[in-house]
Amino acid sequence: MKVKKLNELDVSGKRVFIRADLNVPQDDAGNITEDTRIRASIPSIQYCLDQNAAVMVTSHLGRPTEGQLSADDSLMPVAVRLGQLLNCPVRLINNWINGDFEVKPGEVVLLENCRGNVGEKKNNEELAKKMAALCDVYVNDAFGTAHRAEATTEGIARFAPVACAGMLMGAEIDALSKATENPARPLVAIVGGAKVSSKLTILRTLADKVDQLIVGGGIANTFLLASGKRIGESLAEPELVKEAQAIMDMMKARGAEVPLPVDVVVADEVSALARANRIPADEVGAHDRILDVGPKTAAKLADIIAHAGTIVWNGPVGVFEHAQFAGGTKMMASAIAHSEAFSIAGGGDTLAAIAKFHIAEDIGYISTGGGAFLEFLEGKTLPAIAALEERFDN
Ligand code: 3PG
Ligand code: MG
321 among annotated binding-site residues: yes
Q: Which of 33, 36, 60 to probe ligand 1 with, by most ligand atoms within 8 A of CB? A: 60
| Domains of the chain and CATH, by start | 6-169+382-390 (3.40.50.1260), 185-340 (3.40.50.1260)
What are the C-alpha distances in Å from 186 to residues 339, 342, 390?
A: 13, 11, 34
Task: Calculate how far, in angstroms, residue 244's C-alpha sits from the geometric centre of ligand 1.
Answer: 28
Nearest-ligand number for the alpha carbon of 23: 1
What is the rounded distance in angstroms from the CA atom of residue 11 to the CA atom of residue 326? 48
61 among annotated binding-site residues: yes
Residue range 227-252, pLDDT digits in tens: 999 999 999 999 999 999 999 999 99
Instruction: Report the sign of the C-alpha dihedral through residues 352, 356, 358, 363, in that order.
Output: negative
Q: Does the annotation count 371 as an active-site position?
A: yes
The number of beta carbons lying within 10 Å of the beta carbon of residue 220 is: 31
Task: State the catalytic residue, choosing from 91, 178, 195, 278.
Answer: 195
Output the residue whose Cα is nearest ligand 1's atom 6. Answer: 145
User: What are the residue ranges in the chain where pLDDT is below 70?
Assistant: none
Q: Does the annotation count 242 as an active-site position?
A: no
pLDDT at residue number 186: 96
Nearest-ligand number for the alpha carbon of 147: 1
Task: State the catalytic residue, choosing from 30, 67, 348, 379.
Answer: 348
Output the residue whose Cα is nearest ligand 1's atom 7. Answer: 145
Residue 62 Cα: closest atom of ligand 1:
10
**Ligand 1: residues whose CB is within 6 Å?**
21, 23, 63, 144-145, 148, 370-371
Compute φ and ψ for 13, nearest 5 degrees.
75, 0
What is the rounded distance in angstroms from the CA atom of residue 342 to the CA atom of residue 15? 38
Q: What is the pTM of this model?
A: 0.90
List CB-based neighbours of ion ligand 2 within 5 Å. Answer: 371
pLDDT at residue number 2: 94
Q: Are 238 and 222 spatial neighbours (Cβ–Cβ below 8 Å)?
A: yes
pLDDT at residue number 339: 97
Compute φ and ψ for 107, nearest 5 degrees.
-115, 150
Instruction: Report the sign of the C-alpha dihedral through residues 222, 228, 234, 240, in that order.
Output: positive
pLDDT at residue number 25: 92
Query: Which residues, 6+ apart, have CB-to-CB distance to 68 below 8 Å?
Result: 116
Task: Calculate how far, in angstroms, residue 145's C-alpha sits from the geometric centre of ligand 1.
Answer: 6
Torsion, Cα of 271, 272, 273, 278 (10° steps): 80
Q: Does the annotation count 348 as an active-site position?
A: yes
Task: Calculate how far, in angstroms, residue 248's C-alpha sits from the geometric centre of ligand 2.
Answer: 28
pLDDT at residue number 193: 85
pLDDT at residue number 197: 78
Nearest-ligand number for the alpha carbon of 41: 1
Rg of the Cα atoms in the chain? 23
